[in-house]
Amino acid sequence: ETGVTQTPRHLVMGMTNKKSLKCEQHLGHNAMYWYKQSAKKPLELMFVYNFKEQTENNSVPSRFSPECPNSSHLFLHLHTLQPEDSALYLCASSQHRGRINGYTFGSGTRLTVV
């Protein structure tokens, strides 16, 4: 366990479904992130939250909707996804900039859109 927990580990959903990915950390980190990892592509930064406020939306389609109710929890709400959205979705957290020591990643949610 890294200290960042993602659920579910695997998710298969139809294109008309609505589902949510959950990420939780109790490391005392202030920043949380969503990344998408597709085959043969670099990790793509999707969203950044710093002290619960969204500071980055990397041109992500509106069918992905993040939510950060507090510094320990991060959600990614999914609706009307496309097959090309199938990927490994990784959540990460980090300290504030004054104490940078890298990200802590969760194990990811393997999403398959059918």
Partner 1 sequence: SQQGEEDPQALSIQEGENATMNCSYKTSINNLQWYRQNSGRGLVHLILIRSNEREKHSGRLRVTLDTSKKSSSLLITASRAADTASYFCATDAGDQGAQKLVFGQGTRLTINP
Contacting residues toward partner 1, per CB under 8 A: 2, 4, 6, 30-31, 33, 35, 40-43, 45, 48-50, 55-56, 88, 90, 92, 94, 96-97, 100-108, 110
Cα 34 to Cα 16, 31: the distances in Å are: 22, 11
Tell me how far, at minimum, the Cβ of 105 lies from partner 1, in Å: 4
Give the integer Cα–Cα distance in Å for 59 and 83: 18
Report which DSSP code applies to 41. S
Q: Shortest distance, CB of residue 28 to partner 1, whole angstroms?
A: 14
Query: What is the widest separation between alpha-carbon atoms in the chain?
Result: 43
Q: Minimum distance between the CB of residue 80 and partner 1, rounded to whole angstroms?
A: 26
